[in-house]
Chains A and B, each alone.
Chain A
Amino acid sequence: MIAEFGLAALWLAAALAALQLFAGVMALTRPGEGLGAAVRPVAVVQGALGVIAFAALMVLFVRTDLSVKLVAMSSHSAKPFIYKLAGTWGNHEGSMLLWVTVMGLAGAFVALVEKRLPERTMLATLAGQAFVSLGFYAFLLISSNPFERLPTPAPEGNGLNPLLQDIGLAFHPPTLYIGYVGLSVAFSFAIGALVTREVGPAFARAMRPWVLGAWIFLTIGIAAGSYWAYYELGWGGWWFWDPVENASLMPWLAATALLHSVSVLAARNALRAWTVMLGVVAFSMSMVGTFLVRSGILTSVHAFAVDPERGSFILGLLAINIGGALTLFAVRAVTVTEGKRFAPFSREGALVFNNVMLSAVLGIVLFGTLYPLIAEAMGAQVSVGPPYFNPMSALFVVPMLAVLMVGPLLRWRQDNPGRVGKLLILPLVAIVVAAGAMVIMGGVGVLPALGIVLAAGLAFASLMPLRGRSLKRTPLAIWGMVVAHFGVAVSLFGMASESAFSVEKLVAVRAGDSAQVGPWKVNLKTVQPVAGPNWTALEADMTASYKGGARVAIRPQSRSFWSPPQQTAESALVTRWNGQLYAVIGEQADDGRWQLRLWWKPFVTLIWYGALLIALGGLLALIGRVSSDLRRIIAREKIAYRRERQGR
């Protein structure tokens, strides 16, 4: 019953999306017939129905209803509750349902809350949102029905990939999806504004919270995914330039650029066409990412769907949505002027530089990710990995970070270098000191050394916008910018330090023996079997002491899951303020010695703390922007009310 109920809700939601599109377009082409009034309520109900359908699927997974094909294929009765729940979106159909659900919710929220833009723009925006949703509803209902029943219920489920049975990964996909889909709202706003030619500061202010919100979720999602890969894959790597990682990075890059250009549009009414273009590109990248991951075109840990039919369907959606949007842009861009002019040495100038550099990095990541596929189509296999992506993106990231030190200090429209120069003394000193340290230390690679030097400069430069301000009166949005940019420095330092100063030790030891890795002494006491709900494991009982200090107990495991059968290494981590000890237990050799893999990774945690700071900065900016928008709206209403009373 629950499955049929969910399916019915899904069909109804799809029908309402069609109605929303139809009513929106009719209201735009034939105003005055009253259809426009239906659009907002329909959007709200559509969102609610999506939530109902998704809730139904969650119930099926929690109950492990094995008469439903999807549950039988990707769940198991012996799985812990939390992974049954997370199993709802740990598969192709469920994650696509999550996608349309979040998209419907976002549409409902826009319909309920956004009242600042001209009604025509809103109608076009909601119609655009419905159009994109409709494609995904069709995809679900035609080729990926999550509620499909089996002719006879399965005796037991196939289970979930053990690598995915981890708390980090349980919440990584929904976080990313909220980010992806949040960008769909920016996309729809861009379409709406193009249709009605209303591109201006009001449009930018309406779009900005969505871009900020989506960007915060993307930032957290990427950071969580990276940390998951770091501790779960058991080899201490935190970024692999894997196509699936790139698929999440690309929308983030575009959203980061959009975030900055939308600020220019809101504050200065400049960069109009460019901002609209980025709005289209950002969501296009979300769809490209979804296509890459969901179509099974890549072979990677994450790509669990392998089905060419689905791939072509998503590719079709991609072509229609992106192609349509770009055509609209090409037709209308002529009528959208770029807006106010500005000098190169100005806040806008620095932001344009940031945008161009980010777009170039996006181009490289996109091309480098797609090229192996192109080559494969031409009959050759090539791999594009870190030796390509690192230097090529550094080509643009390094100048961007250099400009980032100056940009936030500049005034809008025009500034003079003399005024800013004084503020840069401290960052420059930091740069010189860091560069000196790198030279004295020696043996540090070019990119890590550059990273450390830039991080040192940026850490100070990012705080400079606070100078001369009363900290209490500094607007939240400024705090947000400062915190986020400081986070960039923190994260960059973590990356560079991990790359330059990590120590690795592979040893084979007997119980009772010790090994030294960097400043750590690790002692293996015993190895014993332990059992979990759906796995058994060999657990090493070890102690670790930092520079002869107190001993900490650590227990890395080598786990064997039985459904599906797979081995995973559960690393053990000891976190100090200045880095992490990373320990993994491997196989036992014939002579009885145990294989240990140990790493000392100085300041590695800063990578993710930095990312969290970046997200926190976004959150502060979001709160600041939304509350000042609200204040403005309330003030305007008060004035209108007063005028009305005076008029009487």
Chain B
Amino acid sequence: MKRLFAMIAALAGLISWLIATPAMAQDSLPPAPYAYRQLDDPALEAKAQDLMETLRCLKCQSQSIADSDAPMAGDMRSQVRERIAAGDEPEAVRAWLVERYGDYVSYAPRVTNLTWPLFVVPLVLLLLATALLWRRFGRGGDKA
């Protein structure tokens, strides 16, 4: 019985050490496993790559995490690849990152009550362009 307890205690100790390690390791910086490593499955890697190209490196200036040597970009690449490898859909990963870092991290703006003009303006331009061309050519244009 005692030995069982000892084993459980040792196991608990091991587990807590395993859990604690990533937090402790952040300062000593062994690079994240998938920062510079591709996923073995090319289809998944392509999925991850497409997603990474649309995520902003928060420590850089106007670069995606797929285009940056910054350690943080590497960490984020690793997170993205791990999640994709675990079977998450790209948009779910994006949502997860947006939840953690805010809208700023995604280069694909969502439609919110702040960003709606981004989507209305192209529509207005489209209508305006059509109207301009229509006005110019529409009314009995060919005999102008």
* B121 CB, nearest partner CB in chain A, Å: 5
Measured CB to CB, the nearest residue on chain B to A244 is: B62
- From B62, B126, B143, A301 is in contact (CB under 8 Å) with B62
Measured CB to CB, the nearest residue on chain A to B132 is: A356
Is A569 in contact with B69, judged by CB distance below 8 angstroms? Answer: yes
Stretch at the interface among A101-109, A258-266, A337-345, A457-465: A337-345
Measured CB to CB, the nearest residue on chain B to A342 is: B144
* Interface size counted on chain A using CB atoms at 8 A: 57
Is B114 in contact with A386, judged by CB distance below 8 angstroms? Answer: no
Q: Given A240-B63, A504-B49 in contact, is the A375-B122 Cβ separation under 8 Å?
A: no
A514 at interface by CB-CB < 8 Å: no
Cα(A352)–Cα(B125), bound, Å: 15
- From B69, B108, B142, A345 is in contact (CB under 8 Å) with B142
Stretch at the interface among A146-154, A312-320, A364-372: A364-372
- From B30, B31, B53, B109, A388 is in contact (CB under 8 Å) with B109
Is A300 in contact with B126, judged by CB distance below 8 angstroms? Answer: no
Residues of chain B lying within 8 A (CB to CB) of residue A345: 142
Q: Interface digits, B103-129 against A, CB 8 Å rule (1 contact, 0 not)?
A: 111111100001101100110011011
Is A386 in contact with B36, judged by CB distance below 8 angstroms? Answer: no
Is B49 in contact with A242, judged by CB distance below 8 angstroms? Answer: no
A526 at interface by CB-CB < 8 Å: no
Is B129 in contact with A360, judged by CB distance below 8 angstroms? Answer: yes
* B51 CB, nearest partner CB in chain A, Å: 10
Q: Interface digits, A320-357 against B, CB 8 Å rule (1 contact, 0 not)?
A: 00000000000000000000011111000100110011
Number of residue pairs spanning A and B whose beta carbons lie under 8 angstroms apart: 127
B141 at interface by CB-CB < 8 Å: yes
Stretch at the interface among A80-88, A376-384, A420-428, A575-583: A376-384
Is A388 in contact with B108, judged by CB distance below 8 angstroms? Answer: yes
Stretch at the interface among A35-43, A216-224, A230-238: A230-238
Is B103 in contact with A382, judged by CB distance below 8 angstroms? Answer: yes
Cα(A84)–Cα(B136), bound, Å: 54
Residues of chain A lying within 8 A (CB to CB) of residue B126: 360, 395-396
* B78 CB, nearest partner CB in chain A, Å: 12
Residues of chain A lying within 8 A (CB to CB) of residue B67: 233, 235, 237, 240
B61 at interface by CB-CB < 8 Å: yes
* B25 CB, nearest partner CB in chain A, Å: 13
Residues of chain B lying within 8 A (CB to CB) of residue A233: 63, 67
Is A375 in contact with B114, judged by CB distance below 8 angstroms? Answer: yes
Is A234 in contact with B129, judged by CB distance below 8 angstroms? Answer: no
* A346 CB, nearest partner CB in chain B, Å: 9
B66 at interface by CB-CB < 8 Å: yes
Is B61 in contact with A385, judged by CB distance below 8 angstroms? Answer: no
Q: Interface digits, B17-51 against A, CB 8 Å rule (1 contact, 0 not)?
A: 00000000000001100001110000000000100
B68 at interface by CB-CB < 8 Å: yes
Is A356 in contact with B129, judged by CB distance below 8 angstroms? Answer: yes
Residues of chain B lying within 8 A (CB to CB) of residue A343: 137, 141-144
Describe A's contact surface by its main secondary structure: mixed
* A365 CB, nearest partner CB in chain B, Å: 11
Measured CB to CB, the nearest residue on chain B to A378 is: B114
Q: Given A233-B67, A363-B125, A586-B36 in contact, is the A381-B118 Cβ separation under 8 Å?
A: no
* A214 CB, nearest partner CB in chain B, Å: 25
Cα(A342)–Cα(B144), bound, Å: 6
* A55 CB, nearest partner CB in chain B, Å: 33
Residues of chain B lying within 8 A (CB to CB) of residue A300: 61-62
Which of A341, A343, A345, A356 gathers most chain B CB within 10 Å?
A: A356
Residues of chain B lying within 8 A (CB to CB) of residue A567: 69
Is B36 in contact with A384, judged by CB distance below 8 angstroms? Answer: no
Residues of chain A lying within 8 A (CB to CB) of residue B102: 381
Cα(A384)–Cα(B143), bound, Å: 45
Is A371 in contact with B117, judged by CB distance below 8 angstroms? Answer: yes
Which of B56, B68, B108 gathers most chain A CB within 10 Å?
A: B108
B54 at interface by CB-CB < 8 Å: yes
Cα(A597)–Cα(B69), bound, Å: 11
Cα(A595)–Cα(B69), bound, Å: 12
Q: Interface digits, A184-213 against B, CB 8 Å rule (1 contact, 0 not)?
A: 000000000000000000000000000000
Is A385 in contact with B54, judged by CB distance below 8 angstroms? Answer: yes
Measured CB to CB, the nearest residue on chain A to B68 is: A235
Q: Given A299-B61, A414-B142, A569-B69 in contact, is the A367-B121 Cβ separation under 8 Å?
A: yes
* B133 CB, nearest partner CB in chain A, Å: 6
A506 at interface by CB-CB < 8 Å: yes
Is B54 in contact with A387, judged by CB distance below 8 angstroms? Answer: yes
Cα(A301)–Cα(B67), bound, Å: 13
Cα(A506)–Cα(B36), bound, Å: 6
Q: Interface digits, B60-97 against A, CB 8 Å rule (1 contact, 0 not)?
A: 01111011110000000000000000000000000000
* A3 CB, nearest partner CB in chain B, Å: 32
Is A386 in contact with B61, judged by CB distance below 8 angstroms? Answer: no
Measured CB to CB, the nearest residue on chain A to B53 is: A386
Is A357 in contact with B129, judged by CB distance below 8 angstroms? Answer: yes
Is B68 in contact with A504, judged by CB distance below 8 angstroms? Answer: no
Residues of chain B lying within 8 A (CB to CB) of residue A303: 61
Residues of chain A lying within 8 A (CB to CB) of residue B56: 383, 385
Measured CB to CB, the nearest residue on chain B to A368 is: B118
Residues of chain A lying within 8 A (CB to CB) of residue B109: 382-384, 388
Q: Given A240-B63, A343-B144, A567-B69 in contact, is the A381-B36 Cβ separation under 8 Å?
A: no
Measured CB to CB, the nearest residue on chain B to A235 is: B67
A-B pairs with the 8 shortest C-beta distances? A385-B107, A387-B108, A344-B137, A341-B144, A235-B67, A381-B104, A242-B62, A360-B125
A-B contacts, 19 listed (Cβ < 8 Å): A237-B64, A240-B64, A298-B62, A343-B141, A344-B141, A352-B136, A360-B129, A367-B118, A383-B56, A383-B104, A386-B53, A387-B107, A388-B107, A388-B109, A392-B122, A395-B126, A504-B38, A508-B36, A590-B30
